[in-house]
Amino acid sequence: MDVSAFRHQASITINRSPDEVYDVVSDVLEPDGDGTRVTETWEVLPGYPVYLRDEQALGDDELMARIEGMGQLARDGIPATLANLKRVVEG
């Protein structure tokens, strides 16, 4: 996990894909009234579909199913991500 920016009362961005080869997951924490707004993004990088086609010999339907499966894993992991961020931020 790489914390790329932090300023008190500003925002913090956390990139959780250290190699950033196939995908990037980022969390942005921003002040929001008395609390904190957390925005999580997930992006498939261009190299991942190329890898799946070239190295895994996947067709278009299989490729899309694999990427959608990864997206679902990312969505399913949001509660754990939020709990971990809360633990780290609040101490």
- Given a contact cutoff of 8 angstroms between Cβ atoms, the answer to whether 44 and 22 are in contact is yes
> In sequence order, what are the residues at sequence separation of 6 or more whose Cβ sits closer than 8 angstroms to the Cβ of residue 13?
3, 4, 5, 26, 27, 28
Q: Where are the domains of the chain?
A: 2-90
Q: Is the pTM of the predicted complex or chain greater than 0.85?
A: no
pLDDT tens per residue, range 20-78: 567 777 778 788 888 778 888 888 888 888 888 888 899 999 999 999 998 898 888 88
Q: Which token pair is 7? A: 């300023």
How far is 68 from 82, CA to CA, in rounded Å? Answer: 22
